[in-house]
Structure 1
Amino acid sequence: MSLMARSAVPAPFSIAPSWNWSGNDGSWSTFEIAVGTPPQSFHILPATGSSEVWVPIPQACEGVMINVPNCGLLRGVEEGRGFETNASSSWDLLGIYELEAEQNLWGPTGNPGQYGLDKVTLEAYPSGQSVHLAEQTVAGYATANAWVGNLGLGISVGSFADVHKGTVPSLLDAMKSQNLTSSLSFGYAAGASYSSPRDYGSLILGGYDKARFEPSNLNFSITGTDSKALPLNIVSVIAENTLNGTLSLLPDASSITTVIDSTISQMWLPADVCELFAEAFGLTYDETTGLYLVKSAAHRELVQNNPKVTFTVSSVNGSSATTNIELPYAAFDLQAGMPMFNASTNYFPLRRAANESQQVLGRAFLQEAYIFVDWERDYFTIGQSIHQNDTTNIVPVLSPAYDSGNDADSSGLSTGAIVGLAIGACAVIAAFIGVAALMVIRSRRRRRDAERLKTDLPTELHSEHIKPPEIMSAQVYEMNSGETSRHELSENAKPLIELQASTPESELDGDGERYGRYGWDKKPNTYYELP
């Protein structure tokens, strides 16, 4: 690695939070991005299972949402009711395709997106500096399966058949190629609305925030070629202080293979595991929505008892090493709203997985599990979240390319020349040892004062930042290019849907009315409990 190349290594990029909480299936800490020219602003959620930017379009506020005046705000749109492609001079339409991610959960059809290339603007926190990424893959959608927009953190290359643009790199690739980050990596804390004070999310590109989690020193291998996944084994699930006391929520002490995916909110687990959760927490399965609801009496008792669920997880590579992630009941105490219900309804973030491909730990799990992903070294790590917003300790992670010795940004000095210069420098340094000794006390005092005022983003790369962090010790694997080919939907395919087909018209027992064809008649912020 050359001296010049090291000095040019960019600092990690911390994406600015929106300082808002959004969602129709929970209260999630969002981040702010802008799309288009002039920029249209959105509050979005990080999506580990996607490599694209998704934003709602005006059709997302039609159907049962058409008479909801703040529909756009509810879906993370700062102005208007969705992304106006015709208002962006930099929009380049590619066509209508099915949304790239979550087809294993939502099905391969029925969730179309209006795909195009456009400028995406990110704001760094806390500096406020903006970066502009041209020709990013942007999908405008109307489906209710994705409520607020997503910022894809994957590295799959978008491939669009029969269009002039061909393949499109991911946002992380674009950041690295423009020297805005030092690696294809990120650290993400989902935040927790239930903590006191509220813990807002944190998203670091090219590094992670060491102050936001307890290191586990356990690395998990990344699997897949075209579409990389973040798998792990759930070895045990122990619930304490439930309605039935302390018990295991895994049948026959069996393990479960799942993937982590922040694109979705809930945990998708086998039906028999879901039933054990239902018995322990007094949950009622709703056939229409597929959600597990919490009745009023059970909810009051659970809030009072404050159960704790401990997930013990391990890598899928056969290692016996494990780590624990503990979730309080507050992490499961979520509310579902429009368009599923016309009043905020208590539910438990659990869904039935039909097969292993649907077994997912979503954003609810990540409220208590900080995740760091290094796509170039093919591994990730998780650790128990630390809920605080007061301090940061952001650690850069460098691409393996910086250690290859083949960096194009070379100073031209050979290793021998550098060593020779270092030896000569030692003689000069010796002459100043006496002076340096006199300066030690003063220097230490200055460092202590500077420590109180220093910013968390490093301005220089010292040894702690040059090497990979100690929590990342997994093997390095060669990456696949990640290209996938996508075919545009035909003109006879389903149009961008309105929120209508799956909306139930029946009512729950008690006061929990679902949305019918005539919209809603209760205040959306009214929390509602089943009897």
Structure 2
Amino acid sequence: MATSSFSSFILIFSLLSFCAIAIPEPRPASWSSKTFGPDGPWNAVEVVIGGVGQNRTAVFPGHAWHSWFTSTDYCFLTSSDHCNDAGGYPLRNSGSSRVSMEFLQPAQEWMAGVRVAGEDGFMYLDDMDLLFKGDNTDYITKTSLAIISDQMLALPNGTQYPALLGCLSLGSPEANQTFVEVPGPNLNGTMIPWPLAKRGATPSSSFGLHIGSGITVARMQGSLFWGGYDRNRVVGDVLALDGGFYEPILLKNIAITVVKGASPFAFPSTSKPGLLAQGNSSLSSSAGLPIVIDPCSPYLSLPRSTCDAIASHLPVTYCPNLGLYIWDMTSPKTTQILTSASALSFTLPGGTNTQTLTIHVPFRHLNLTLSKPLALAPTQYFPCYTSSGTRASVLGRAFLQDAFLSANWESSRVWLAQAPGPNIQPGSNPVGILPGDTAIQSGGNDWATSWDGFWTPLSEKQANGTEGIPAPAPVGAGNKEGEGLSAGAKAGISIGVAFFAAGLIGLGILLWRRGWIGPSTSGFARQESEIALEGRHSVEMETAMPNSSRGGGWGPVEVAGTSVRDPIPLGEVDGTSSSSSKKGLATSGRHVRSLHALA
């Protein structure tokens, strides 16, 4: 009887264990242990692109639809010591998984906040390993990517320099990106993260992203979950928007805010609002500035009047060749500001006239470093950029160090919130996003407290320079990945894993003996929906750069066009022969509203 009861217990435990492993859950991206410049340091994720046997490639997360990857030959264009640290796409030896397509993507579509110079990028389909840890559900077959082979970023003075990393797609509203081959069958690129949800690895086609910061004195590991988000990275109110994260939204105000302690600034109060429109009559009479949130872009790309208004309160010098502001590291005021409990604050409107969200970026995170080829020696700079070259205003990675971004592609919902500082509990708190979810919940962190130990609330004497400022003593580790389990918890997990394995073995033997396990006769069904190429409308955007969707402030279209071998107008766009003008694939038509309509 005891033996029978024990066998029943093992069977029940095994069945429960078997069911448990089939439950979809948020899947974490793999983050590089390195940080990257030449204008960071920035965190980046790692993937393997090009099939089995290829090396890992570091890439910034943040594009929509297809990804952009630098080729392995790209490093021949730069003398940077760190170019090879990121890896690249092996054009010369990609394996049998690659599908070549004679389609072109406008180079400027790579990012919105900096002008991109060079020819349009060729597109390919290839396999990608998202590198889930200890898992085999992370493989994406035939995803679409554009290749950075000789394209450069351009400075305001016309100087061009190579970028070191491309930009990984965070998804799209559709499961496929369809390319029309004439003649021949259409080609379908698989869009991250749709296959993960279709095979049951994640609850939905969605993501949650906090890029974090690579700055040493306030380091914070990045967080990217497919099919969910880390609730510890969401603080306070959550702004919900319809559409895609690449669509333009209004920026209503920029302020300098002293959160704690005395003010190191010349103005008497603890806040200096109105910096967005200061010195700009057209902005003063408008509802706000249309901006794009673009993780592929590095800076706060804003009007010169706005950057100058902010810089007037900082010990910085404008460098016209770079379009950036250099910190005066010899000034005591620089130390006071960069260590103080103060921030640059961005106010965005919500769905109602009274709802707003303010996201604070502490000055601790606005002391970034220029390195080769942008500077001969490491140079500290303030990332307000006045010369995007695309006539678009963009909040890039400098902003996203302290902002949480998430989207549910299945419900067409986007969420934006304040991200915490480095002093938060170790480990993550992953929460799944279901297909119909239109809201997410914030965690229990207090934002100001999450910066304790990483900034210094100044005394009056420290603020006026009559007393020195000690370096903050960090009380947290910036939520390093993999930390946070006690010895007892780890032991418990080990015991649980042992019982789990034993249970699976017992279940397998039982099912085999009863004849319930036999040869597999069915594979995983893949129903990929094609993207319609007809019936879309291009957008009038006077602030946009022609033929540049991201540069103009809106996202890339699911590629509509023609094979460059045989140019024929199709739907909203037309392609051209690679031997002629290389116009490539136009990317307008994603939105039904213009930037001016927002203002």
Equivalences for residues 383-402 of structure 1 within 5 A: 383-386=417-420, 387=422, 388=424, 390-400=426-436
Query: Is residue 148 from structure 1 mapped to residue 169 from structure 2 by the alignment?
Result: no
1:29 and 2:43 are equivalent in the alignment? yes
Distance 2:348 2:363 in 1: 23
- Please list, as runs of the form range in 1=range in 2, the aligned pairs for 1:55-454 lying within 5 A after superposition: 55-63=69-77, 65=78, 67-68=79-80, 70-73=82-85, 76-77=86-87, 83-95=90-102, 96-99=104-107, 101-102=109-110, 104-105=112-113, 110=118, 112-125=120-133, 127=134, 129=136, 131-142=138-149, 143-145=151-153, 146-155=163-172, 158-162=177-181, 164-194=185-215, 198-222=219-243, 228-229=246-247, 231-240=249-258, 241=263, 243-245=265-267, 247-248=272-273, 249-251=275-277, 255-298=288-331, 301-306=333-338, 308-315=342-349, 317-352=351-386, 358-386=392-420, 387=422, 388=424, 390-400=426-436
Alpha-carbon distance in 2 for matches of 1:237, 1:103:
26
Q: Cα offset for 1:11?
A: 0.9
Amino acid at match of 1:153: L
Paired residue type of 2:266: N
TM-fit CA distance, 1:6? 11
Structure 1: gaps (5+ residues): 403-448, 460-479, 496-531
Query: 1:209, CA displacement in angstroms?
Result: 0.5
Q: 2-side partners of 1:373 and 1:83: how far apart?
A: 31
| 8 Å Cα contact 1:286/1:293 also seen in 2 | yes
TM-score by length of 2: 0.61
Partner of 1:435: none
TM superposition shift of 1:172: 1.7
Report the CA distance between 1:200 and its aligned residue.
0.9
Structure 2, unaligned stretches of length 5 or more? Answer: 1-18, 154-162, 279-283, 439-487, 495-499, 501-530, 533-556, 562-574, 584-599
CA distance, structure 1, for counterparts of residue 401 and residue 368 of structure 2: 12
Correspondence 1:493-508 to 2 at 5 A? none
Q: 1:46 aligns with which of 55, 61, 85?
A: 61
Picking from 469, 479, 490, the partner of 2:578 is 490
Q: Matched residues in 2 for 1:28 and 1:103: separation? A: 16
Deviations 1:74-108, CA, capped at 9 Å, x for gaps: xx11xxx7533434221111134324735654568
Give how far 1:220 is off. 2.7
What is the CA-CA distance between 1:330 and the residue it aligns to? Answer: 1.8
From the superposition, tell whether residues 251 and 70 of structure 1 become closer, same or farther in structure 2 (CA, over 3 Å).
closer
Alpha-carbon spacing, 1:483–1:319, altered in 2? closer, same or farther (3 Å): same
The answer to whether the 8 Å contact 1:209/1:392 transfers is yes
Amino acid at match of 1:24: P
Structure 1 CA distance for aligned equivalents of residues 210 and 65 of structure 2:
18
Say whether the 8 Å CA contact 2:366–2:383 is kept in structure 1. Answer: yes
Contact 2:208 2:225 in 1 (8 A): yes
- In structure 2, give the amino acid aligned to 1:113: G
* Residues 183-208 of structure 1: per-residue CA shift (max 9 Å, x gap): 12111111123366732101001111
1:132: Cα distance to partner? 1.6
Does structure 2 conserve the Cα–Cα contact (< 8 Å) formed by 1:187 and 1:371? Answer: yes
What SS does the aligned partner of 1:216 have? strand
Q: Cα offset for 1:344?
A: 2.1
Percent identity over the alignment is: 22
Q: Is the Cα–Cα contact under 8 Å of residues 252 and 289 in structure 2 kept in the other structure?
A: yes
Q: Distance in 1 between matches of 2:45 and 2:215?
A: 18
SS at match of 2:386: strand
Name the structure where strand makes up a greater proportion of residues: 1
Q: Is the 8 A contact 2:295 2:396 kept in 1?
A: yes
Amino acid at match of 2:205: L
Q: Report if aligned partners of 2:114, 2:389 keep a CA contact under 8 Å in 1.
A: no
What is the alpha-carbon distance in structure 2 between the residues aligned to residue 9 and residue 315 of structure 1?
37
Highest relative contact order (Cα 8 Å, sep 6+), 1 or 2? 1
Tell me the residue number matched to 2:596: none
Kindly tell me: are residues 99 and 488 of structure 1, through their superposed partners in 2, closer, same or farther at Cα, counting changes over 3 Å? farther
After TM superposition, what 4+ stretches of structure 1 lie above 6 angstroms from structure 2?
A: 353-357, 449-452
